[in-house]
Amino acid sequence: MNATPFDFGKVAVLMGGVSAEREVSLMSGSGVLRALLSEGVDAHAFDPAERALEELKRDNFSRCFIALHGRFGEDGTVQGALELLGIPYTGSGVMASSVAIDKVMTKRILLADGLPTPRYVLLRNALQTGAELDAVVTALGLPLIVKPAREGSSIGLSKVTQRSAMAAAVAQARQLDADVLCEQFISGDEVTCPVLGSGDDARALPVIRIVAPDGNYDYQNKYFTDTTQYLVPCGLPAGEEAAIQALVLKTFRTLQCRGWARADVMIDQATRKPYLLEINTSPGMTGHSLVPMSARAAGMSYEALCLAVLRSAALDHAVPSGSRP
């Protein structure tokens, strides 16, 4: 039986935070809060940048909808704190969250399981010599992608088309993360596919094909312009869409994600082979966001989506209530 709004108890919508994606998180959280309130849920905004997480316990919150993005919200840290507080939360648990936000660790696991992802070179926290940057270009070819190893929303990402631009691209990414990921550029269709549910009950939603101005799906074009086209139905052959959904579901389960997520995929123009870029365990819920768009194509309203995600709130480790301090 589905939970009623009253069964959820007092709900905190975690939004804002201190990451580079604070602005987007506030937009996501505001949308979720309005949706939950419209459905009769006793929901309240809670910004961890302004309030201590201990207040969640003191103020008797029953569960949390995590609308935080990036570090200290999507990386396992808040999840771990909520585990200690014993307050169920939406999205993946501690381990899956911490792995998924780290693009290099995600790649290592995907490759170990035989799942396709673009080739990469990791630049650790050190000044790179010209020879080292030349070696990256030789290994990956041009163009290539340079981005922080643990950041989202395409913040700090550069597409490098000339060797002379490498140093500046690495320096820009390093402002956000000591580790910089250099990645093979896959030329072709850019798509994304959300997942709802957990374990065997997880299901992939319709694939969205993204057509950005000049192929530049950056932070600005993601959230603040109306020039990017989002095609759903995606227009891909049925077999290709089904293959991408199967690949994304396998990735979701391999990384032990739960609740919901959204995976980004590039389809090689020449071979039509899909390559997994990353998986987002706390996807955006703004007016430009893709999970609500895909859910709508599957017949699910924004409000119903928020309720479904909230219904999935859980803990990694359920501890008897009497055993907590």
**Secondary-structure class of domain 120-184 per CATH:** alpha beta
Tens of pLDDT along the chain (325 residues) come to 466 777 899 999 999 999 988 999 999 999 999 999 999 999 999 999 999 999 999 999 999 999 999 989 999 999 999 999 999 999 999 999 999 999 999 999 999 999 999 999 999 987 789 999 999 999 999 999 999 999 875 788 999 999 999 999 999 999 999 999 999 999 999 999 999 999 999 999 999 999 987 666 555 555 556 778 999 999 999 899 999 999 999 999 999 999 999 999 999 999 999 999 999 999 999 988 999 999 999 999 999 999 999 999 999 987 655 555 4
153 is catalytic: yes
Phi-psi region of 208 (alpha: psi -120 to 50; beta: other; left: phi over 0): beta
pLDDT score of 115: 98
28 is catalytic: no
Q: Which residue among the candidates 97, 158, 221, 280 is catalytic per the annotation?
A: 280
272 is catalytic: no
- Strand ranges inside the chain, DSSP E: 10-14, 42-46, 63-66, 120-123, 144-148, 158-160, 180-184, 188-196, 203-204, 208-211, 229-231, 260-268, 274-280
Q: Which CATH superfamily is domain 99-117+186-308 in?
A: ATP-grasp fold, B domain (3.30.470.20)
Q: Give the whole-angstrom CA distance, residue 228 versus residue 230.
A: 7
Are 5-90 and 120-184 in the same CATH fold? no
CATH number assigned to the domain covering 5-90: 3.40.50.20
Strands 42-46 and 144-148: unpaired
CA 143 to chain centroid: 25
- Short-list 85, 52, 64, 53, CA closest to 13: 64
217 is catalytic: no
**Cβ neighbours, 10 Å, residue 23:** 16
303 is catalytic: no
183 is catalytic: no
Peptide bond into 5 cis (omega under 30): no
284 is catalytic: yes
pLDDT score of 225: 60
Q: Which residue among the candidates 120, 284, 289, 294 is catalytic per the annotation?
A: 284
pLDDT score of 8: 96
Q: Which residue among the candidates 89, 120, 217, 223 is catalytic per the annotation?
A: 223
Q: Note whether 305 and 289 are within 8 A (CB).
A: no
| C-alpha distance across the termini of the chain, in Å | 32
pLDDT score of 11: 98
Q: Give the whole-angstrom CA distance, residue 226 versus residue 209.
A: 15
The full set of domain ranges for the chain reads 5-90, 99-117+186-308, 120-184
pLDDT score of 147: 94
130 is catalytic: no
Q: Which residue among the candidates 47, 151, 241, 278 is catalytic per the annotation?
A: 278
